[in-house]
Amino acid sequence: MHVLHVVGARPNFMKAAPVLRALRSHSSVQQTLVHTGQHYDAAMSEVFFQQLGMPEPDCNLGIGSGSHAQQTAAVMQAFESVVCARHPDMVLVYGDVNSTLAAALVCSKMGVPIAHVEAGLRSCDRGMPEEINRLLTDQLCDLLFTPSADGDQNLAREGIPANKVHCVGNVMIDSLVALFPHAQELFPKDFLSPYALVTLHRPSNVDDLPWLSDLLRTLSELSTKLNIIFPVHPRTRQRLQDLGFATNRGESRLRLLDPLPYLEFIALQSRAALVITDSGGIQEEATFLGVPCLTVRENTERPITVTLGTNQLVGRDLGKLRSAAEKIAASPVSSESSRLPDPNRIPLWDGKASERIAEILVRVFASR
């Protein structure tokens, strides 16, 4: 069986890495890795491959930046040639980025079976480009691997046949479980605690300059109560510069950093008093790590992080954000360094999702 994996952006890498490893243990499986180049910055791409132990991509399409339509069309055009040349038996797509939908569209038109890792997630907000990618990808796929039971329920409501759907758990947690001990070795010894870890990158947040300015003011006010560590996404850094906000604030209690590699970020996240984010994956990681998480969005495609985890939606209400953060800061975890991941917090988030995916793929292919 020839399995071709498609990755395009940083969140895909954490999901694909453990699946690649799990399939290596099956001698009947040949693998090809295609990187579309949707994230092309070294800090957002190559270093993640190194830390996650991923092989060099067999193909790098070098798509780069562009509008949603431009990226999707460019991936489709370049990826079609790869499928024609490589003849995969199954194509695995991951998450909800433009590359995911583009590859699924190509394969569906060429009659190549497709499996979606992290299927069934829904924010019920079609204003999010990622939601459109999720909805369409799941309709096109032959196999759908969901991270939790709510994904199964969403797919059932949308008319996806149950025999296509497999609840396997969260592959991002597989990467976290495997690399957590190594990440702890990289924690900076001189870091001042307690601190909040901040990430923001969604256009609906960072492209709204008046709101972003108010958020920065809120973070500055919070920094009087605890340190703020803010690794700044390239898009966000450009918006900060548009505001005339100094982006070299490395010494104040509001510390703006360059984007961090995976292991260094996990080390900081695991010992944070709280996380403030608009990222979907960080909501999941914080839940697994037991770190309080304030999500700067009105909705989440990962509601299980709210119902069973540590996540709280504060939307774009900065008063609510400040109040929730101050409440957490006033009663921090007694010792962040003693916090350990909990594999029992959410069913199947046990570090073995990728093994279940590999077994299902091999079984399905053998039965054809």
For tokens 């350990």, name the residue: 340
CB-based contact 259:290 (threshold 8 Å): no
Which alpha helices (DSSP H) does 225-317 contain, by range? 234-242, 262-270, 280-289, 304-307
Is 201 a known active-site residue?
yes
Q: Which residues pair with 93 in a beta bridge?
A: 6, 116
Query: Phi/psi of residue 121, each to 5°?
Result: -75, 135
CA dihedral 205, 242, 36, 134 (to 10 degrees): 10
E strands, the chain, are 2-7, 30-35, 59-60, 90-94, 114-117, 143-146, 165-167, 195-199, 227-231, 254-257, 274-277, 293-295, 311-313
Provide CB contacts within 8 A for 67, sequence distance 6+.
none
Q: How far is 196 from 331, CA to CA, in rounded Å?
A: 13
CB-based contact 123:300 (threshold 8 Å): yes
Looking at residue 302, its amino acid is R
Q: How far is 342 from 293, CA to CA, in rounded Å?
A: 16
Q: How many residues does the chain have?
A: 368
| Distance, C-alpha 170 to centroid of its chain | 11
Interhelix angle for 353-366 vs 171-185, to 10°? 140
Residue 226 tokens read as: 């605890």
Out of 26, 116, 201, 233, the active site residue is: 201
- Residues known to be catalytic: 201
